[in-house]
Amino acid sequence: MGPPLKLHELIQLIRRAKTQSEEREVIQRECAELRSLFRDEDSLYRGRSLTKLLYMHMLGYAAHFGQMECLKLIASPKFTDKRIGYLGAMILLDERQDAHLLITNSIKRDLEHSSPIVQGLALCTLSCLGSAEMCRDLASEVEHLLQNSTGHVKKKAVLCAVHIIRKVPELVEMFIPVSEELLGEKRHGVLYGAILLVTEICQRQTEAYKRFRKLLPLLLQKLRQIMSGYSPEHAVSGITDPFLQVRLLRLLKILGQNDESLCDAMGDLLAQVSTCTETQSNAGNSILYETVLTIVDTKSASGLRVLAVNILGRFLLSNDKNIRYVALTSLSRLVQSDYAAVQRHRGTVVECLRQPDTSVNRKALELCFALVNETNILSMMKELQRFLQTCSPELKQQCTSGIFLSAERFSPSTQWHIDTIMETLITAGESVRDDAVSHLIHLISGAAELHAYTVKRLFSAVREDIAQQPLVQVASWCIGEYGELLVSGTSENQEQVTEDDVLDVLEGVLQSHISMSSTRAYTLTATMKLSTRFTLCVDRIRRLVSIYSSCHDVELQQRAVEYHALFKKYDHMRSAILEKMPLSDKAVEEDNVSELRESPEAQPPQTILVQPVSNVTDLLGLLEVSNDSVMNATNPAVPQVIHSVTNGGSLLDLLEEPLNQALPSVVVYKNGGLQVEFSFLRPPSNPDLLIITSSATNSSSSIISDFQMQAAVPKSIQIQLQAPSGSSLAASCGETVTQSIRVLNPQKVPLKMRLRFSFTHNGSSFQEICETSNFPVGSWQ
């Protein structure tokens, strides 16, 4: 039997395979031969065998049976075998496997080896797969190499030290003195690793953070030297070592986050970087972007913050869509703290809506809605309506939701508000929120002076097109309520509308195959209501209702049967039952709207409780009991009765009452040192209201920054999030971030909540989503 195939021979053989089946046969045959060689302890071709196995692993085939061969090659005195062994270990092993424990002694010996190249191999492997136990065992050897080794080894040792700190944070103290010395290095590779090491230390230990702040002049000097000098060996697109400049800026950001004096000291240099860095390459743009983040995340002067926003404004004009996306993301973070500066770039942000890239459109859309206010609502809404006509389907729902909320918050008049929502419904079609129909109906019902204008416009729109189901539902409701205004008179530019014309449109909706079941329910209810508004077509309405008494749709059939009973048994009460809906208490609504609008994520207020009525008999019984009860036509499922939530008071008044009904607290999230706990209070006079106080703590050894919490609840519940007490959580439970959440649950449904947490920890961004329903029973009953 001859020697085994060489690596290039195996590669050629695999490439000659014409089918996947042939390739698998080659691999299986070679694997069988390798297993045989490994069993025979063939040391002559062990290195060659492992290289072939690693190649097959790269192709996606199983190679776990070669793990022990890696350990044998690492223990070999030959450098070629040792190099292949370490490479195999980094590819085939990880810290979750037991086999890596066997190489700890080998790595320890190689860290003390006389050859810097062998030391480098051991350091790379420890950085790649070192577990917490290995890091504890070998930390002293790594710390020794940081002090007494060549530049080649130091560069690898400092990166290994970063890995050790991440795995075993309690070893931070060991590397603080040597990291201070390494900041004086002139070699870029070692200096880069040293800055990364100091950054990790500062994020994990507050005392070390204070110690390194004293070295700010040295860091500023290093950054000036890199900017002013030119080193061809480190240049990228004409800029000296942009990677090192970015890393230095990130460290400056961490050191200056909570120290205004340090921010003043670095202000001049940051301004110099902002104005002198070339913007013709990605290397320069990356430095400018990191400079912006440093300015934004520290207590920099207002002039410097305006300069940062202007840099992002220039990024928006870039032809590179990635740069535009980064700029939009950063401006979204700045819009709360530097609203006026961001507002000056509103025109450029709007231009990004016209870009062909969906990701850029989405970020630009979010920023546009954040920039809408009372002064620009008219112009911005025109741009957003234009975007809605051409945007991709996945953005239509986001756009319509934003338009509805912006129109509600900043509408200059009720007529403009109604026109805007109707135009949105016409354009967006099915891409609207579930509550859009009820919201518009509520808005129209409260504007008595616009009833004639609204119903005529809606009738014209539905007469032309019945494909937009939400619009048809609103139109049907309005026609049922205010149908007499359609036939009572017309303006000079409008043709006469007869009762038969109106019924023709409604009958067309009922018969159309594109009409949804809920749309038909709206339309049949509207047709029934017209029997008390119209005088000439009552018989036609009676016949139309009786037709649907045998409809296959059970909901529509029940509705038709009950309405038909009104014509026969209860005809004398039909006018009273089908009266117009009364206006709700505007004072209560306005107070609730004002309170809920304090949070940009607040849902539209719903100040009514709905009690379903199963049939006409129950409905008549309820009418006899309560004179304040009226039929609710906003929900087409069945006739319903509406009761006011409050007794004339506002939500704001209720929130000012003493809170003395305490409930047990609940931990809703706990992971990686971050814990969020909810405590509960309820005002004694309002059982519908629940005050939740969220308390976030950080028990890890490093700071958590950019902490944000968002919450969502079922539609029957209203929620309002107040501003949090901060966005940074100090290490070791040193600081608590609190946030108040107000929940209005008039229907007493079991409380469920979806929470989303976003934060930055150890230099990485995280976004966690969780759902919780284990609230104490008293929080919703």
At residue 218, does pLDDT exceed 70?
yes
* 107 C-beta neighbours (distance < 10 Å), count: 24
Number of domains in the chain: 2
Q: Is residue 344 part of a domain?
A: no
- Rounded to the nearest 10 degrees, how much is the dihedral formed by the CA atoms of 338, 341, 346, 349? -70
Write down which residue in 607, 627, 656 finishes a domain.
Answer: 656
Report, as an integer, the average pLDDT of 153-170: 93
For residue 279, the model assigns a pLDDT of 80
530: left (phi over 0), alpha (psi -120 to 50) or beta: alpha
**pLDDT tens digits, 431-461:** 777 677 888 888 888 888 899 999 999 999 8
629 and 746 share one domain: no
Report, as an integer, the average pLDDT of 290-312: 88
Report, as an integer, the average pLDDT of 410-432: 87
Q: Is residue 353 part of a domain?
A: no
Contacts of residues 320-326 at CB distance under 8 Å and 24 or more positions apart, as own/partner, are 320/282, 321/355, 321/357, 321/359, 321/360, 323/285, 324/352, 324/355, 324/360, 325/357, 325/359, 325/360, 325/363, 326/289
- pTM for the whole structure: 0.63
619 and 665 share one domain: no
714 and 639 share one domain: no
Q: Is residue 595 part of a domain?
A: yes
DSSP 217-256: HHHHHHHHHHHHS--GGGEETTEE-HHHHHHHHHHHHHHT
At residue 126, does pLDDT exceed 70?
yes
Q: Is residue 507 part of a domain?
A: yes
* 353 C-beta neighbours (distance < 10 Å), count: 21
DSSP letter assigned to residue 753: E
Q: Is 755 helix (H, G, I), strand (E, B) or coil?
A: strand
Question: Residue holding tokens 């504890």?
Answer: 136
498 and 613 share one domain: yes
* 419 C-beta neighbours (distance < 10 Å), count: 17
679 and 606 share one domain: no
**pLDDT tens digits, 469-487:** 889 999 999 999 998 998 8
545 and 615 share one domain: yes
Side chain identity, residue 230: Y
636 and 685 share one domain: no
For residue 110, the model assigns a pLDDT of 93
For residue 490, the model assigns a pLDDT of 53
For residue 622, the model assigns a pLDDT of 32
E strands along 564-660, which residues?
608-612, 640-644
For residue 493, the model assigns a pLDDT of 53
Average predicted confidence (pLDDT) for the chain: 83
**pLDDT tens digits, 732-750:** 877 788 998 988 888 888 8
636/527 Cα distance (integer angstroms): 12
650 and 707 share one domain: no
**pLDDT tens digits, 703-716:** 888 899 999 888 78
Which pLDDT band, with edges at 50, 70 and 90, does 662 fall under?
Answer: low
Q: How far is CA 355 from CA 54, 348, 352, 444, in A?
A: 45, 11, 5, 36
Minimum mean pLDDT range among 503-512, 534-543, 569-578, 644-653:
644-653
What count of Cα atoms within 13 Å lies in the side-chain half-sphere of residue 682?
20
Query: Where residue 440 sits, what CATH number does that domain have?
Result: 1.25.10.10
Q: Is residue 199 part of a domain?
A: no
Q: Is residue 677 part of a domain?
A: yes
For residue 584, the model assigns a pLDDT of 56
186/222 Cα distance (integer angstroms): 9
560 and 457 share one domain: yes
For residue 689, the model assigns a pLDDT of 85
663 and 766 share one domain: yes
Query: Where residue 752 sits, what CATH number does that domain have?
Result: 2.60.40.1230
589/595 Cα distance (integer angstroms): 10
Write down which residue in 656, 680, 704 finishes a domain.
Answer: 656
**pLDDT tens digits, 238-294:** 888 999 999 999 999 888 887 788 888 888 889 988 888 888 888 889 999 999 998
**pLDDT tens digits, 611-635:** 233 334 333 333 333 223 223 333 3
For 747, the domain range is 657-779
For residue 630, the model assigns a pLDDT of 29
For residue 151, the model assigns a pLDDT of 87
Q: Is residue 506 part of a domain?
A: yes
693 and 567 share one domain: no
Q: What six digits make up the tokens of 256?
A: 């200056």
713 and 756 share one domain: yes
Contacts of residues 747-751 at CB distance under 8 Å and 24 or more positions apart, as own/partner, are 747/609, 747/716, 747/717, 748/688, 748/780, 748/781, 749/714, 749/716, 749/717, 749/780, 750/780, 751/690, 751/713, 751/717, 751/775, 751/779, 751/780
Q: Is residue 15 part of a domain?
A: no
| Residue 528 contacts residue 578 (beta carbons within 8 Å) | yes
Write down which residue in 608, 629, 656 finishes a domain.
Answer: 656
